[in-house]
Amino acid sequence: MSEPIDEIIIDKPDNPVDPELQRIQNFTGKYPKQLWYLFTVEMWERFCFYGMRGMLTVFMVSQLELTDKAANLQYGAIQAFVYAFTFIGGLFADKILGFRKSLFWGAIMMIAGGFIIATAPQDLFYIGICFSIIGTGFFKPNISTMVGQLYKDGDPRRDAGFSLFYSGINLGALLGGILMVWVGLHYSWSLAFALVGIVMSISIITFWFTQKTMGPIGLSPLSATMPASKKRMYEIATYVGSLIAIPLILILVKNSNYTDMVMYIVGPAALLYVLFEMRKYDAAARKKLIAALIFITFSIFFWAFFEQSGGSLALFAYNNLHDSFLGITIDPNVVNNSANSLFVIIFAPLLGLVWIWLAKRKQEPNSGVKFGMGFLLLAVAFYIFYSTIRFADAAGLTSLEIFTLGYFIITFGELCLSPIGLSLMTKLSPQPMQGLMMGMWFLASAYGQYVAGLLGAGMSTADDNASAMDKLISYTNGYQQLAIYAVVAGVALLVLSPVIKKLMGSTR
């Protein structure tokens, strides 16, 4: 993009009741048209993110020659920093940039990161990853918040809208998961990483041409009375500061031992800041924010289990699965990277319509119950992953069909939690805190990713030369333990759901 971002977007006027926003929110039917535009923008960004995620451990083991344990730890560290920066991106969007400028800046950084790695994958991998970390931080939480602002408070169609939006996420994840890992493994790692830059360009061009339909949504939060020069100074300082942070991020990412220190500091500091901001609101608003924090806390455990997909399950697919599905030859890592996304695409809109149907009959389960159901389904899925050991041959290879069945079940657990959580962050948060709370939601994902790496490393065999059978036994035993933990969390949420419902007030 050749034009400065500041010349592209007009600042939002100080108008608390914007007629254009009312027009957008008074849409008829199930979905606003703007949702489809954001769906497309997010789809291409998630193509890049999940394509990269699916390649990380396989690339690090096969090209950087890391051990399985080291790759799991490095994967957890990278993903943790990716999601940790969504908190920072949400904060700067709330306070300075607005959601639109954050999206443009995040996209530019991700495009740069993809092309940097493509230039020399083995040598520039970590530098490019730093650009991607910052880019995702500015992009991801803010587009989700824009989706929430398409709906009025109390609109029962919001959960269905986020379920459709979630389908866009997973359509991109499906395409990226299939294409990028296949290109990397069988053709060229440089081309695989270059796809990030190419596809993110499509994403941001799409937003460029559709942003005019968003009305005041996502424009600058800075006062219209603030001098233009001062606004520009704040914005430029944000851009420059994010670039200056790259050397520090590089040090942290390359040495996963630093991750512990960062995670011990960032989470408590973020929580203290949220508690500080909560003082500005009345008791009812604070109770809703406490409910949001409960959901955020439980989501850490969910993502710690679920995100084995990019870590231990990716290596499990690489080492321990037959390359045949119902008689068709297929790369197991392609299945690992795409099965969940395919199932989400098929079932997310249907489940969203089920929520609407139940809501009309006043039978829709509350959000605490949905979260609890998500954990119980997650437990079933990991028990299925554990059961693959019963179908293994002497070489330590097991059934790709049973493995895929696990992903089928895990999909419904995810759909009971993730799109609902995105929706909740916009429903339970006062508008001035929506970017911040969406950032907190993704910061919880950062902790989940971090713990996922630790869990994956703990499941890895200590012997670098272990046989496939030894690896199979080690990983499946770990999946059995995760199934037990998921049951405990699910039951706890079901027990707590009446308390959470009371804190949420009239919000579902």
The token pair at 9 is: 């977007």
Tell me, yes or no, whether 18 lies in a domain: yes
Residue 101 lies in a domain: yes
pLDDT at 172: 82
C-alpha closest to that of 172 among 130, 207, 203: 203
pLDDT of residue 256: 65
Cα–Cα distance for residue pair 211/12, rounded to 1 Å: 13
pLDDT score of 255: 74
Q: How many domains does the chain have?
A: 1
Rounded distance, CA 121 to CA 188, Å? 10
- Would 2 be classed as within a structural domain? no
Residues facing 398 on adjacent strands: 321
Give the rounded distance of the alpha carbon of 42 from its chain centre: 11
Query: Quick one: DSSP state of residue 328?
Result: E
Which residue range forms the structural domain that includes residue 128?
12-504
pTM over 0.75: no
Select from 47, 86, 465, 130 the least CA-distant residue to 296: 86
Examine residue 56 and state whether it is found in any structural domain, yes or no: yes
Q: What is the DSSP string of 212-280?
A: GGGTTTT---S-TTS-HHHHHHHHHHHHHHHHHTHHHHHHHHH-THHHHHHHHHHHHHHHHHHHHHHTT
For 478, other C-beta atoms within 10 Å of its C-beta total 21
Residue pair 320/396 in contact (Cβ under 8 Å)? The answer is yes
Handedness of CA 10, 15, 17, 19 (dihedral sign): negative
Cα angle, residue 436 at apex, residues 431 and 442 outer, rounded to 5°:
125
**Tens-binned pLDDT, residue by residue, of the chain (508 aa):** 333 333 333 344 444 557 888 888 788 777 888 888 888 888 888 888 878 877 777 788 888 888 877 777 787 778 778 777 877 887 788 788 888 888 889 999 999 999 999 999 888 999 999 998 899 888 876 777 788 788 887 777 777 777 777 777 778 878 887 788 778 878 888 998 998 889 899 989 998 998 888 888 878 777 777 888 888 888 898 899 889 989 988 888 877 677 777 778 888 888 888 888 888 888 888 888 888 899 999 999 998 888 887 778 888 888 878 887 888 888 888 788 788 888 888 887 787 778 778 877 777 777 788 889 999 999 999 999 998 888 888 888 888 898 889 999 998 898 888 877 877 887 888 877 777 787 788 788 888 878 887 787 777 765 667 787 888 888 888 898 899 999 999 999 899 888 888 888 776 6
| Residue 421 belongs to domain with CATH number | 1.20.1250.20
Residues 485, 506: Cα–Cα separation, whole Å: 31
- Map tokens 């968003």 to a residue: 214
A 10 A CB-CB count for 16 gives 6
Q: How much is the pLDDT for 77? A: 79
The answer to the question of residue 175 being in a domain is yes
Does residue 6 lie in a domain region?
no
Instruction: State how far the Cα of 222 lies from the Cα of 231, in Å rounded to an integer.
Output: 7
The answer as to whether 3 is a domain residue is no
Contact 236, 92 (CB under 8 A): no
465 part of a folded domain: yes
